[in-house]
């Protein structure tokens, strides 16, 4: 599953650039109850275009928010729009029915003024999304059991003798 986030620097031309350096997210079940990311995922990654800009290996035994520092912060200039995508690597043995990724509110982002270093708020952008953007939720991703090996059995049904010129002689039967 993935969560795509669109971001826009709404400042006027000439405004100082902004920089996103960190984000945090939670993993929830279909009712919104927190799940433990370390039991489900071997990694949570943040991508900008085709570039990995942040990754964390969940280790906490709790269902708390996972902090993802960006090794390559996202810089936006005035009126610029960009996006990032959060992806997960799912462990092979999962007991949950599925999950959603959630960013509960603006405090889950660390944004700063690139010129002064001052902390900035992340706010809902009604230009990019209708209504309030928080909480941000990915679509529900249901887990499916992997396919089992296909069991096959061959049965020799060839006749003891075949007359010359015989057409479509059955030689074997395959049961699956």
Instruction: Evaluate whether 72 touches 51 at the Cβ level (below 8 Å).
Output: yes
Give CA–CA dist 127/79, Å, rounded: 12
pLDDT digits (tens, 9 = 90+) for 49-75: 999 999 999 998 888 899 999 999 999
Of the candidates 78, 115, 102, 110, the residue with the CA atom closest to the CA atom of residue 29 = 102
The first and second tokens of residue 26, run together, are 């939670």
pLDDT digits (tens, 9 = 90+) for 119-145: 998 887 766 665 567 788 888 898 887
Grouping H, G, I as helix, E, B as strand and the rest as coil, residue 19 is strand
Mean pLDDT estimate for the chain: 88
Give CA–CA dist 5/148, Å, rounded: 36
Q: Specify the DSSP class assigned to residue 5.
A: E
Of the candidates 125, 47, 134, the residue with the CA atom closest to the CA atom of residue 85 = 47
In this structure, of 17-21, 41-45, 132-136, the range with the lowest mean pLDDT score is: 132-136
In this structure, of 9-13, 108-112, 125-129, 147-151, the range with the lowest mean pLDDT score is: 125-129
Task: Provide the Cα torsion 6, 10, 12, 17; round to 10°.
Answer: -60
């Amino acid at each position: 599953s993935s969560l795509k986030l669109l971001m826009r620097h709404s400042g006027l031309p000439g405004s100082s650039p902004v920089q996103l350096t960190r984000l945090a997210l939670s993993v929830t079940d279909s009712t919104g109850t927190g799940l433990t990311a370390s039991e489900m995922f071997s990694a949570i990654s943040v991508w900008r275009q085709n570039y990995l800009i942040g990754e964390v290996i969940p280790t906490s035994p709790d269902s708390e928010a996972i902090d993802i520092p960006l090794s390559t912060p996202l810089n936006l200039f005035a009126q610029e729009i960009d996006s990032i995508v959060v992806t997960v690597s799912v462990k092979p043995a999962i007991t949950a029915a599925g999950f959603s990724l959630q960013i509960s509110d603006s405090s889950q982002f660390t944004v700063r003024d690139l010129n002064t270093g001052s902390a900035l708020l992340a706010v809902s952008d009604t230009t990019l999304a209708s209504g309030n953007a928080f909480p941000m939720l990915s679509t529900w991703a249901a887990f499916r059991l992997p396919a089992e090996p296909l069991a096959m059995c061959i049965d020799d049904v060839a006749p003891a003798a075949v007359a010359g010129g015989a057409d479509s002689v059955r030689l074997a039967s395959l049961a699956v």
